[in-house]
Chains A and B, each alone.
Chain A
Amino acid sequence: MTKGKKTIAFLGRKRHKSDVGYGLPLILAVTLHALVVGLSVISLPSQDDTPESSSIVQATLVSTETFTDQAQQPFEQPTADVPEESQKTTLPDPGPTAQDIATEQAEAQRQREAEAEAQRQREAEAQRQREAEAEAQRQREAEAEAQRQREAEAEAQRQREAEAQRQREAEAQRQREAEAEAQRQREAEAEAQRQREAEAEAQRQREAEAEAQRQREAEAEAQRQREAEAEAQRQRESEAQRQRQREAEAEAQRQREAEAQRQREAEAEAQRQREAEAQRLREAEEARRAAELAERARQAEQAQNSFTNIVKNLVEQAWIIPPGASNNAAVTLNIRLGPSGEVLATSVVSSSGDGSFDRSAQQAVEQAAPFSELRDVPAEFQRNLRQFNLRFTPGMFADVNVKTNRDVAGFVSVEQHSVC
């Protein structure tokens, strides 16, 4: 129980003494917000330019729509002109809208009412006019009287004023003259003062000039001396320089000559070497060419031999020797071939005296034709083989050629025939 009471007491104390109260923070927060709001209210009216500029911005936007063609040509046109023009253009725009029509109707209505009113007023006016005229007559007379009096007074007033004016002018005139006099005196004094100062100034300047002159002369003298010394120094140096140069040139000359000598020797040596090299090359070339020639000749020989052997074998196989032919008979045929090996012509060069034997030889050649192996021969040797002689001699090597059903084999020898 006591404990419970104590805690209750603690709680009460706690609430009483616990933390910082909320009063001061609340006041601080409210003042802070009030400050912020006040700042926003105070600062914004000073920025009056922004709303105006925003309206100007709007005007320029419209103007860019209407003036796009013109605005693109004069780029340098100052922007200040644009809003004015746009104002001009935009102002007529809202004129012919619905509002205008409404205003016109209202205007007409008002006009009609005004006319009726005016009619009534004119009648009343005429009545009043007549009454007023009599009154006005009386008033006019009184006014004319008063007018005359006022004029007389005004005349007197003007005279007095003119008098006063003249007096003031004379006074002013005198003052101006006195002032001008004083002004002249002051100017004269100032002039004299300036002259004196100018003289003193001139005196100082002359002295300074003389001093400067003397200094310049002394300096010029010193300068001249220094220059003369420098000149002498330069001359000595240039003399020594020239001497050194001459020596160096002589040395260089000697060196150049030695160099040229060496070069000439080296060139001669190189020349000799080149000649020897060329000689060697020529020899090697000749040897190579000779070997090549020999090779080609050998190849040609080989090709010719192989071709003639083929031709010989073919003709021998196709040759049917007539039965009555003697072993000593021999016929030589000249044969010309086409490019692909076909026989163009056969002609008897030396006859055997036996016609049938000659014919059999010719038939053998025709039978064996075409000699298509000619195409296998290299082209450069083909021309040599296009024309050749064949010599037919039966019975000499019968044992070699008796292979097939032929009874008697003949021997065909080919004679190379160079074509012109």
Chain B
Amino acid sequence: MNENSMSIPHLVMSASTVVQLVMVLLVIGSLLSWVVIFQRSFALSRAKSAYQKFEETFWSGVDLNDLYREIPADDQRQGAEHLFQAGFREFHRLMPRNSQPDQVLEGVQRSMRVAWSREEERLTKHLVFLATVASASPYIGLFGTVWGIMGSFQSLSMTQQATLATVAPWIAEALIATAMGLFAAIPAVIFYNRLSNSSARLLGKYEDFAEEFYAILHRNLQGREPNTQ
């Protein structure tokens, strides 16, 4: 009886309903946060490698028109490719209609800014959930612990002999809630910092790429301007 009563599953099963609810909540939070952690890690690493590949091809001296033609028109790309696609498409659309290079460049810049903000939204998706789990789950666990200890004291007042053996299981099962809260919070904190940092770095790279691409277009337009007129 003593052996079984202190094992964690037994403690979880014998806890009060509120504490069990808290535990279930924490388990779900931990599960979801780990799903987010894995999903974001994979997505970010894939985005990083895709960006490197695209940058290599972009700076390898390939003609930009060929590069744009390689991308199918109805295939929405991601990352720097998305920026390039949006900017170049806008450039091509505006070029025949508008003779003033400033307006063309302005339209290109705007479209790239929109694409960049979409990319930002895509990269930082679900990270807020991680932050929420990281900051809230210790409190939830603490609530479960406090509730469980309250219940233990209430039941303690009913017994006549208050020994350590009557209190210990209650407190142990109450403390499990805090342990679970910390178990959910610690990885969430660590990976939130890590993932947000790497996504911010990737977004910075996108921004740099957009500026460089804009510079190329600008140079091209300035060179072509006398011919068109």
Contact = CB atoms under 8 A, between A and B. Distances in A.
B42 A25 contact: yes
Contacts of A32: 34
A37 to B, nearest CB: 8
Contact of A50 (B6, B36, B183): B6
B35 interface: yes
B46 interface: yes
Interface residues on B, range: 20 to 34
A29 B34 contact: yes
Given A13-B74, A20-B39, A58-B164, A51 B2 contact: yes
Interface string A3-14: 000100111011
A22 B31 CA distance: 12
A33 B30 contact: yes
Interface stretch (A40-48, A182-190, A364-372): A40-48
B2 A14 contact: no
B8 interface: yes
Nearest to A54: B168
Nearest to B1: A51
A33 B27 contact: yes
B63 interface: no
Nearest to A21: B39
B74 A6 contact: yes
B7 interface: yes
A41 B34 contact: no
B6 A9 contact: no
A19 interface: yes
B24 interface: no
A57 interface: yes
Q: Is the interface of A mostly helix, strand, loop or mixed?
A: helix
Contacts of B38: 24-25, 28-29
Interface in B175-228: 183
A61 interface: yes
Contacts of A6: 73-74
A26 B35 contact: yes
A30 interface: yes
B46 A20 contact: yes
A129 interface: no
A341 to B, nearest CB: 102
A20 B38 CA distance: 10
Contacts of B168: 54
Contacts of B37: 25, 29
A13 B2 CA distance: 59
Interface string B32-50: 1011111100110010000
A368 B164 CA distance: 112
Nearest to A48: B3
A220 B32 CA distance: 92
A41 B3 CA distance: 12
Contact of A30 (B2, B31, B76): B31
A33 B74 contact: no
A151 interface: no
Given A10-B74, A33-B31, A25 B39 contact: yes
A13 B6 CA distance: 53
B13 to A, nearest CB: 12
Contacts of A223: none
A11 B75 CA distance: 10
A203 interface: no
B158 interface: no
A135 interface: no
A20 B36 CA distance: 11
Interface string B147-190: 00000000000000001110010000000000000010000000
B83 to A, nearest CB: 15
Among A26, A30, A51, A54, find the residue whose CB has the most chain B CB atoms closer than 10 A: A51
A57 B164 CA distance: 9
Given A13-B76, A25-B42, A58-B165, A51 B5 contact: yes
A41 B39 contact: no
Nearest to B183: A36
7 contacts: A13-B74, A19-B46, A33-B27, A33-B31, A40-B8, A50-B6, A62-B163
Given A33-B31, A61-B164, 4 more contacts: A25-B34, A25-B36, A29-B34, A58-B163
Interface of B: 2-3, 5-9, 27, 30-32, 34-39, 42-43, 46, 73-76, 78, 122, 163-165, 168, 183
| A-B complex: 4 closest residue pairs judged by Cβ atoms | A25-B38, A29-B34, A10-B76, A25-B39
